[in-house]
Structures are given as structure tokens and as C-alpha cells.
Amino acid sequence: MSDPVSIPANPAPFPLDPGGFALVIIDMQRDFLEPGGFGESLGNDVGQLRRTIQPLRAVLDATRALGLPVVHTREGHLPDLSDCPPSKLNRGLPSRRIGDPGPNGRILIRGEYGHDIIDELAPVAGEAVVDKPGKGAFYGTGFGDLLVAAGVSQLVVTGVTTEVCVHTTVREANDRGYDCLVLEDCVGSYFPEFQAAGLAMIAAQGGIFGWTATSADYLKALSAI
Ligand code: C5J
């Protein structure tokens, strides 16, 4: 196995293990990123999320080129909503709730157009897609088993939104013993102040639940593998 490659990161360099990590792409779904989708219908500026697409595409291409594991996640629910607790269902604008009809189909429902991953980052054969009913990738899914089977101990985390599903997943992963490196320009929030605070919280206190780095520094590390 190759030696770890050091990536400049906050709060300290991250020792990327070439044979021991997976790229995780959280919820890059039309419902969150496309104009006319769920996120925009709630009054959010999807441009704040769409700026992640181009750097994330470069990260995905480089990771794929090396044949390294890639896992995509999608937040969503069964058509009968049996996996959506009332605490989640009853929140949000009354006419824009999970399961309601929207321009891209029923909001956050598996199988609907809006629930799927944007074309730019569509999974290819061999890449895992984890459908999750919650904010974190571990809750109610086979994500944990999949990581164990892949033999990885580090996660390079990207996707949306920084302070919700990215944070929840990184916190869950950290508690399970994974070292998480979050790529700053490949995660996005509708709220610039949450983006800044969300990233700062990960690396604060000596890396309380992870590291953060730029995609440029991750790409440089990949070129050294
Ligand atoms: C949200 C997510 N924000 N993927 N989901 O509800 O972060």
C-alpha cells in the first residue's frame, strides 16, 4: 500500500491514505440544486449551491480516473411516506412539504425527477448510491456496511448542504471512527453565514469532528498517488 499523502488542511495537514478512503458526495439532487426545484421554491438562492458543481466535477473525474471508491447519497422518501416521521413531514411551508407535487415531481420522493442527482454528477456503473431517509448518511441505510466492505477509514466529503446533511453525516462518521476531510469549495449552503460557520465548526478545537481543505489541494494530492 502507498504511503499517506499530506494535504494542507485545517486545523492540520490531513494524511490521505491512497488505499483507505472513499469520496462521498452528499445529496447533489435536482430538488436542492435546480432552478424550479424544492430548494428554490422555499425561497433559497440555488446559485449558492450551484457554485460547487464545477469543482466537484473536477474532484469526481480525478477520483474516478484513479479507480477509487465513490459513494453518492440522495435524501428522500418512499412514495407512501412510511419512512418519513411526522416530525419531518409537518415542517416547512404548508404547500411545499415532502410528498407534495412540484415542478420536478413529488418533492423528495424516490423515483421522481427532482429526487435524482444532477446530470453533471450522475453516478456511473460501479459507484454506490445510498438512499437515505434522514439528514445523515448512516441513519436507516446500508452506508456503514458499505464502508466496512470497502475497507476505508477516511472519508473525503462533499455535497449539500454544509450545515445540514454534510454536517450530520460527518458527525455520524466521526463518532464511528472515520477521519473526515471536507472539501470547502465542494460543499454548499443556501446561507453564506452558515457556510462559513459550518466549515469553521468542523475544524475548530483541534478538528473536533474533522478537517477542511480546498479541492485544489485534494487534486494535487491525487496527482501524487
Ligand atoms: C436539507 C440536505 N438541507 N441535503 N438536506 O434538508 O442538506
pLDDT band at 1 (very low <50, low <70, confident <90, very high): low
SS3 state of residue 17: coil
pLDDT in tens, 15-68: 999 999 999 999 999 999 998 788 887 889 999 999 999 999 999 999 999 999
67: left (phi over 0), alpha (psi -120 to 50) or beta: left
Structural domain span for residue 161: 5-33+47-81+116-223
Nearest atom in ligand 1 to 161's CA = 7
17 catalytic, yes or no? no
Ligand 1, atom 6: closest residue by C-alpha: 164
Is 151 part of any domain?
yes
pLDDT in tens, 173-208: 999 999 999 999 999 999 999 999 999 999 999 999
Q: How many domains does the chain have?
A: 1
Is 95 part of any domain?
no
Is 64 part of any domain?
yes
185 catalytic, yes or no? no
Is 147 part of any domain?
yes
Classify the C-alpha dihedral 102-194-69-83 as positive or negative: negative
Check which CATH number belongs to the domain holding 68 and give it: 3.40.50.850
The two counts, helices (H) then strands (E), for the chain are 9, 10
SS3 state of residue 182: strand
Is 181 part of any domain?
yes
Q: How far is the CA of 160 from the centre of ligand 1 (A)?
A: 6
217 catalytic, yes or no? no
* Full-model pTM: 0.97
The C-alpha atoms of residue 24 and residue 9 are separated, in whole angstroms, by: 18
